[in-house]
């Protein structure tokens, strides 16, 4: 407290005297009344003021006013006020023992800087809030994951695939039953294709190699859309050019090939009445078909997939695949509110 | 169960090996480079004096159906690209015109007449 005003000092001196009187009342001892000089000295000492003349500009500090005897009721009131903390007492360095006791007892309670709140309550509240936010975030994540899973599942089976009967490059019969037991990758093309089929077959070679490196057993199949010119021997020679181990080349009669292409929704433009000597290009849809070990259709990959992209997608689908009897609707698992670490 | 429709004489000659294919492609690329240099888009309408050597190479190394297919495909691609360029140019011109008119209107608003 900075006090530089002389008047204030003198007033303080008066208050010192009053406090001294109070103490004398309490202790039952009568002190020698503090002289004005002493009071001022006390005030000046406690307030660290350099000089203090004996001037009393205010009448309230005249002895005539301060010498009246304090009435009992006022003393009681003041004492109560001091003890309960309603009135702040003077504090200072030159206190007598009695005065210091009074002041210690009458020290008011420090106001809580937080006021209404307390620290423990705030911590619990913050903890609860964090838990709630975390829970909301986990629920959102679970919903998104479930939605993605639901979205990628085929909604109803695509009507691709079905029974067929063709001949492989060694003359053996190949039907849809031969697809069972392992995953298959089917490509429809023809041997006299200018550039697209060779490109796609090279892509297939990379895909099959990648998948076999990952331990996936996949059967590559090449089905000819040009049965008139593509005999089993032709297929065998053609497929030797491509570094695909275990590739199966299929052909057959025109009606059998037409039936297979229809089952797989493959468009092809070979008319039925051409002969082997004719020179023509077959216009056909360019897709890879992924079939599962039960001979059912899984997914189709068009020209926008490159070799790496296609191998990754196929690997994903194979990893996710479950046999039909073990398949069931994926249910949404609601996360637990309390287990925030999950 | 070999089908009787296929004659055994044809089988061996019908297969085109990888090296033959690549030779055909190289000749085709050379021919198309010549056509691009001479800015020929449609081959059918031109006389056969331009790029005659390259064309003969292609004809000898590739099957006729392949040659026709390659040429048709090139023409189709060039037409599509030209159309795309034309359309984008149109769009840009339209945007510029619209911007100019809006600028004019703004200017007219503030000019004291």
Q: Tell me whether residues B64 and A233 touch, CB distance under 8 A.
A: no
Arithmetic mean of pLDDT, A69-78: 68
Lookup result for tokens 């429809």: A188
Query: What are the tens digits of pLDDT across the range B5-63?
Result: 444 444 455 789 999 999 999 999 999 999 999 888 888 766 667 888 899 999 999 99
Q: In terms of pLDDT, which residue wins out, A183 or A1?
A: A183
Directed axis angle between helix A97-105 and helix A6-27, to 10°? 90
Mean pLDDT of chain A: 80
Q: Which of A105-119, A282-296, B5-19, B31-45 has the highest mean pLDDT?
A: A282-296
Q: Which of B31, B25, B34 is CA-nearest to residue B66?
A: B25
Q: Which of A181, A153, A152 is CA-nearest to residue A296?
A: A181
Q: Which of A158, A220, A222, A224 is CA-nearest to residue A183?
A: A220
DSSP class of A59 = G
CA angle B22, B23, B28 (to 5 degrees): 95
Closest residue in A to B7 (Cα) is A276
Closest residue in B to A283 (Cα) is B69
Determine the Cα–Cα distance for residues A185 and A16; give it in Å rounded to an integer.
Answer: 104
Q: In terms of pLDDT, which residue wins out, A252 or B9?
A: A252
Determine the Cα–Cα distance for residues A215 and A182; give it in Å rounded to an integer.
Answer: 12
Q: Which residues of B touch A (CB under 8 A)?
A: 1-3, 5-7, 10-12, 14-18, 21, 24-25, 62-66, 69-70
Closest residue in A to B64 (Cα) is A279
Q: Is A52:A6 a contact under the CB 8 Å cutoff?
A: yes
**Is the pLDDT at A107 greater than 80, yes or no?**
no
ipTM above 0.85, yes or no: no
Determine the Cα–Cα distance for residues A303 and A305; give it in Å rounded to an integer.
Answer: 5
Query: What are the tens digits of pLDDT across the range B97-111?
Result: 999 988 888 888 887
- Tell me the sheet residues that pair with A167: A173, A251
Q: Is A41:A117 a contact under the CB 8 Å cutoff?
A: no
Q: Is A40:A114 a contact under the CB 8 Å cutoff?
A: no
Q: Is A182:A219 a contact under the CB 8 Å cutoff?
A: yes
Helix (H, G, I), strand (E, B) or coil at A183: strand
Determine the Cα–Cα distance for residues A148 and A163; give it in Å rounded to an integer.
Answer: 32
pLDDT at A92: 56
Structure tokens of A318?
A: 């194979």
- Using alpha carbons, list the distances in angstroms from residue A26 to A31, A79, A209: 11, 9, 103
Query: What are the tens digits of pLDDT across the range A194-225?
Result: 999 999 999 999 999 999 999 989 999 999 99
Q: Pick the residue of A205, A226, A231, A251 with the most B CBs within 10 A to test the interface with B by mutation.
A: A231
Q: Is A223:A187 a contact under the CB 8 Å cutoff?
A: yes
**Is the pLDDT at A339 greater than 90, yes or no?**
no
Q: Residue A10: is it exposed, middle or buried by C-beta count within 10 angstroms (0-12/13-18/19+)?
A: buried
pLDDT at A132: 95
Q: Percent of chain A, pLDDT > 70?
A: 69
The count of CB pairs under 8 A between chains A and B is: 56
Residue B93 region by backbone torsions, left for phi larger than 0, else alpha for psi between -120 and 50, else beta: alpha
Q: Tell me whether residues A228 and B5 touch, CB distance under 8 A.
A: yes
Determine the Cα–Cα distance for residues A53 and A36; give it in Å rounded to an integer.
Answer: 12
Please name the member of A233, A253, A279 whose beta carbon is closest to the beta carbon of B63: A279
Q: How far is A299 from chain B (nearest CA, A)?
A: 29
Determine the Cα–Cα distance for residues A127 and A135; give it in Å rounded to an integer.
Answer: 12
Q: Is A85:A68 a contact under the CB 8 Å cutoff?
A: no
A chain contacts of residue B69, beta-carbon cutoff 8 Å: 194, 281
Determine the Cα–Cα distance for residues A342 and A131; give it in Å rounded to an integer.
Answer: 12
């Amino acid at each position: 407290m900075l006090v530089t005003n002389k008047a204030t000092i003198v007033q303080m001196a008066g208050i010192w005297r009053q406090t001294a009187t109070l103490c004398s009342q309490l202790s039952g001892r009568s002190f020698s009344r503090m002289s004005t000089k002493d009071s001022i000295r006390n005030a000046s000492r406690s307030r660290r003021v350099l000089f203090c003349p004996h001037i009393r500009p205010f009448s309230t500090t005249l002895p005539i006013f301060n010498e009246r005897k304090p009435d009992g009721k006022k003393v009681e009131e003041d004492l109560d006020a001091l003890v309960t903390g309603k009135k702040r007492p003077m504090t200072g360095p030159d206190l007598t023992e009695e005065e210091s006791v009074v002041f210690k007892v009458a020290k008011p309670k420090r106001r809580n800087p937080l006021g209404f709140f307390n620290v423990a309550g705030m911590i619990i509240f913050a903890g609860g809030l964090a838990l709630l936010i975390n829970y909301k975030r986990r629920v959102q994540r679970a919903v998104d994951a479930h939605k993605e899973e639901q979205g990628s599942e085929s909604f109803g089976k695509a009507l691709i695939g079905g029974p067929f009967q063709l001949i492989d490059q060694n003359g053996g019969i190949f039907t849809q039953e031969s697809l069972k037991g392992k995953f298959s990758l089917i490509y429809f093309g023809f041997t006299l294709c200018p550039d697209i089929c060779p490109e796609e077959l090279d892509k297939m070679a990379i895909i099959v190699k990648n998948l076999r490196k990952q331990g996936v057993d996949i059967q590559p199949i090449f089905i000819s859309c040009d049965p008139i010119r593509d005999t089993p021997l032709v297929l065998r020679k053609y497929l030797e050019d491509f570094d695909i181990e275990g590739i199966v080349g299929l052909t057959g009669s025109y009606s059998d090939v037409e039936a297979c292409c229809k089952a797989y929704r493959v468009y092809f433009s070979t008319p039925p009445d051409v002969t082997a000597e004719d020179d023509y290009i077959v216009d056909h849809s360019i897709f890879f078909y992924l079939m599962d070990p039960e001979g059912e259709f899984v997914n189709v990959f068009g020209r926008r997939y490159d070799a790496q992209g296609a191998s990754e997608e196929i690997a994903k689908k194979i990893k996710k695949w479950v046999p039909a009897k073990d398949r069931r609707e994926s249910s949404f698992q609601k996360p637990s509110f309390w287990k925030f670490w999950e | 169960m070999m089908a009787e429709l296929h004659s055994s004489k044809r089988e061996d000659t019908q297969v085109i090996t990888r090296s033959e294919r690549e030779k055909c492609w190289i000749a085709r690329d050379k021919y198309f480079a010549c056509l691009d240099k001479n800015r020929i888009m449609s081959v059918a309408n031109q006389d056969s004096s331009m790029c005659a050597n390259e064309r003969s190479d292609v004809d000898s190394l590739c099957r006729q159906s392949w040659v026709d297919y390659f040429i048709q495909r090139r023409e189709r691609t060039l037409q599509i690209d030209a159309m795309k360029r034309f359309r984008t140019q149109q769009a840009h011109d339209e945007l510029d015109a619209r911007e100019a008119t809006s600028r004019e209107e703004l200017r007219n608003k503030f000019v004291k007449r």
